[in-house]
């Protein structure tokens, strides 16, 4: 039994290169999204409780971002 199906035909006009390119793009996009969330969490974590309250957030809201 194979771990993955290698005999599945590619859709017409879809090359292995284009599939790898799409995969690389999705991985890069996921990393960029993760980093943007990390930067936002760090910036919000540096604010005081009063500053968070001014923008309508609490420390509990920051925990939900994780």
pLDDT digits (tens, 9 = 90+) for 5-38: 555 555 666 789 999 999 999 999 999 999 999 9
Side-chain half-sphere CA neighbours of 14 within 13 A: 9
Q: CA-CA distance, 37 to 21, in Å (whole number)?
A: 24
- CA 51 to chain centroid, in Å, comes to 27
Contact 57, 44 (CB under 8 A): yes
- In this prediction, residue 9 carries a pLDDT of 57
In angstroms, rounded to a whole number, what is the distance separating the alpha carbons of residues 30 and 59?
Answer: 26
Among 43, 39, 44, 46, which Cα is nearest to 61's? 44
Residue 4 pLDDT > 60: no
pTM for the complete prediction?
Answer: 0.65
């Amino acid at each position: 039994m194979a771990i993955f199906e290698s005999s599945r035909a590619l859709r017409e006009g879809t090359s292995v290169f284009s599939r790898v390119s799409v995969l690389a793009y999705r991985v890069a996009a996921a990393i960029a999204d993760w980093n943007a969330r990390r930067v936002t969490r760090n910036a919000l974590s540096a604010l005081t409780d009063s500053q968070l309250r001014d923008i309508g957030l609490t420390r509990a809201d920051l925990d939900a971002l994780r």
